[in-house]
Amino acid sequence: MKEYGFKIGNSYFHQLHNDIRLTNPVIVISAFERLHSLKRLLISLEKALVAITPKIFIVVGKKEDNFQVIQHAKKFVEKFNNAELILPSEKMSLVEQYYFVGDNFSKEDFIILEDDLWVSDSFYHFASEALSHYSQDEKIAGICLSSMSFNGYTKFPFIPIDDGTDVYYAQIPFYHGQAFTSKMWHGFKNWLERNENPNWQTPHLPHVFRSFPLDEYFPIMTLYLIESQKYFVFPRISYSVNFGDIGRHFNKTTSLFQFPLAHKRNSFSFGKFSTSISVYDVYQELLPEIFKKENPMLKDFEFIVDINGGRSVSELDNIPDETYLLTTKPCKNKVNGFSNQMKPLEENVLSSMNGEFISLCRYGSLSRKLCERKQIAKLSSYFYPYHGMGYAKRLLNRIIAVL
């Protein structure tokens, strides 16, 4: 057990183990005061690492009431020769501890796990191979261990387009288990040093991020992805899941981040970012160039994608009226239209399924009255068609659900 001092103000951290030169990524667990959460994560870690012995570091942030957390971490370290407990000598916020982990362990590839996660028995194999495959790709900023099953703006289901591989790409630094090469991490930190006070009011960043506390790394890294035009790699099935334990982000537990978990996987199909047709922007919208490549009738148009409802009208108000949108918002004069017969919705555009559900139109032709409500109503009927049932049936189903 060792203590390491640091000073956030000067971006200076005492470095750990100058001789670390590991071929496989180290695992770093970030914990504070949640004993039950850490116990659960370590149980899953033991199950996953039966046949492999990577170096494991448990970083327990300084808190007045986390003695039991430290004691449990000590027991784990005593049991595993490849594990070490790190106790920072000063108190840290969430973002400070996140940077502490990255800055101290980024001499080599590393995996960071927050304490409220559960990992798949295959998580280490996936992370290791993904880091190796994408280590030289300048468009990749990191690897996510968890997939996304819903749209973070609307909570409707999110179904990425299949591109023949086990992964897709998104401009979202989903924090439920991440992995970085040294180059990936230092790319982010170099950008951060040039942008000491990131502007969260920039029109490039979705408005929802403006409500985040100042000590959150999620909007900061999201802005980095947007401005650097980089992406995270996501698995199509999760290698870690989040229990949404009570803490900084939740005042009661939530199962919102429980996704299907991968099991018994030891081989993976990774493609090239440059040739994938499954690449999403910060709003979880498929990139326009993919639609233009796959559907020739769109190749001569420059447009913004607004199919899944993440972009509010207020976020679009800074664009000229003549700008084209590929949208599910109601509009008066569309240039072209696509149906809602296929799933996911994007498939209707990629496959040129003509219809009325998705419109290619100019921004100025949107029907402004109840525009967003109508879009959400359309998407609700698409994703949840049973909402069209009569009141009596809906009431009966609610009663049955609680029996």
pLDDT of 387 strictly over 60: no
Q: Residue 385 and residue 89: Cα distance in Å, rounded?
A: 55
Q: How confident is the model at residue 242 (pLDDT cuts 50, 70, 90)?
A: confident
Q: What is the pLDDT of residues 23-56, one digit of tens each?
A: 589 999 999 988 999 999 999 999 999 888 899 9
- Asked whether the predicted pLDDT for residue 67 surpasses 80, the reply is yes
Tens of pLDDT, residue by residue over 210-223, are: 777 766 788 899 99
Q: Is residue 197 packed enough to be buried (19+ CB in 10 Å), middle (13-18) or exposed (0-12)?
A: exposed
Q: Count Cβ atoms within 10 A of the Cβ of residue 108 and give its class: 0-12 exposed, 13-18 middle, 19 or more buried.
A: middle
Q: What is the pLDDT of residue 399?
A: 56
Domain membership flag for residue 395: no
Same domain for 20 and 99, yes or no, is: yes
- Both 161 and 261 in a single domain? yes
**Residues 160, 81: one domain?**
yes
- pLDDT, one tens digit per residue, over 70-89 is 999 999 999 988 999 999 99
Q: Are 340 and 308 in contact (CB under 8 A)?
A: no
Contacts for 13 with CB less than 8 Å, ≥ 6 apart: 4, 6, 100, 103, 104
Number of folded domains in the chain? 2
CATH assignment at residue 64: 3.90.550.10
Answer yes or no: do 139 and 258 share one domain: yes
Residues 6+ apart with CB under 8 A from 73: 31, 38, 58, 60, 85
Q: Which of 263, 279, 295 is the last residue of a domain?
A: 279
Name which of 220, 205, 143 is nearest 174 in CA terms.
Answer: 143
Q: Write out the residue range of the structural domain in which residue 349 sits.
A: 286-387
Confidence category of residue 370, pLDDT binned at 50, 70, 90: confident
The one-character DSSP state at 120 is -
Tracing tokens 């949840």 back to the chain, one arrives at 384
pLDDT at residue number 94: 85
Looking up tokens 């000491």 gives 196
| pLDDT > 80? residue 403 | no
| Domain shared by 131 and 187, yes or no | yes
128 within a domain of the structure (yes/no):
yes
Task: Report pLDDT for 170.
Answer: 98
Q: Are residues 77 and 193 in the same domain?
A: yes
With respect to residue 403, please indicate whether it lies within any of the assigned structural domains: no
330 belongs to a structural domain: yes
d(CA 326, CA 309): 11
Question: Side chain identity at 268, as an amino acid letter?
Answer: F
Which one-letter amino acid corresponds to residue 175?
Y
Of 102-116, 255-269, 365-379, the range with the lowest mean pLDDT is: 255-269
Strand partners, 56: 27, 83
The answer to whether residue 96 scores a pLDDT higher than 80 is yes
CA–CA distances in Å: residue 4 to residues 7, 86, 122, 402: 10, 7, 32, 51
| 228 and 346 both lie in a single domain | no
* Alpha helices (runs of H) in 49-93, residue ranges in sequence order: 67-79
Q: Is the peptide bond before 344 cis (omega within 30 degrees of 0)?
A: yes
Calculate what percentage of the chain has a pLDDT beyond 70: 86
Domain boundary among 279, 309, 328: 279
Chain segment 185-205, per-residue pLDDT in tens: 999 999 999 987 777 777 788
Residue 210: what are its φ and ψ, rounded to 5°?
-70, -15
Cα angle 31, 189, 289; round to 5: 105
Q: What CA–CA distances, in Å, run from 192 to 113, 197, 199, 371?
A: 22, 8, 12, 37
- Global pTM? 0.88
357 in any annotated domain:
yes
Contact indicator for 171, 225 with CB cutoff of 8 Å: yes
Q: Which two structure tokens, joined as six digits, stand for 395?
A: 């009431």
- Average pLDDT (267-294) is 97
Over 60: is that where the pLDDT of 247 sits? no
pLDDT tens across 4-14, in order?
443 333 332 33
Mean pLDDT of 168-180: 94
271 shares its domain with 314: no
- Same-domain pairing of 210 and 113: yes
Query: What is the model's pLDDT at position 255?
Result: 59
Give the residue ranges of DSSP H helices in 31-173.
35-48, 67-79, 94-105, 123-134
Same domain, 229 and 117: yes
CA distance 11 to 117: 28
Whether residue 310 sits in one domain with residue 272: no
Contacts of residue 19, Cβ cutoff 8 Å, sequence gap at least 6: none
Q: How many Å apart are CA 208 and CA 231, to the nearest integer? A: 19
**pLDDT tens, position by position, 281-340:** 999 999 999 999 999 999 999 999 999 999 999 899 889 999 999 999 999 999 999 999
Q: Which helix (H) or strand (E) holds 371?
A: helix 371-383
> Percent of the chain at pLDDT above 90?
67
Q: Is residue 400 part of a domain?
A: no
How far, in Å, CA of 243 to CA of 104, rounded?
27
Please report whether residue 231 resides in a domain: yes
Across the chain, what does the average pLDDT equal? 87
Question: Which of 279, 307, 338 is the last residue before a domain boundary?
Answer: 279
| Residue where the block lists tokens 């199950």 | 47
Q: Which string of b and e fits 291-316 if b means at least 16 CB within 10 Å?
A: bbebbeebeeeebbbbbbbbbbeebb
SS3 assignment for 182-239: HHHHHHHHHHHHHCCCCCCCCCCCCHHHHHCCCCCHHHHHHHHHHHHCCEEEEECCEC
> pLDDT tens-digit profile of 147-170?
999 998 999 999 999 999 999 999
> Which residue did the predictor score with more confidence, 353 or 13?
353
Assess if residue 17 is contained within a domain.
yes
Shared domain for 151 and 253, answered yes or no, is: yes
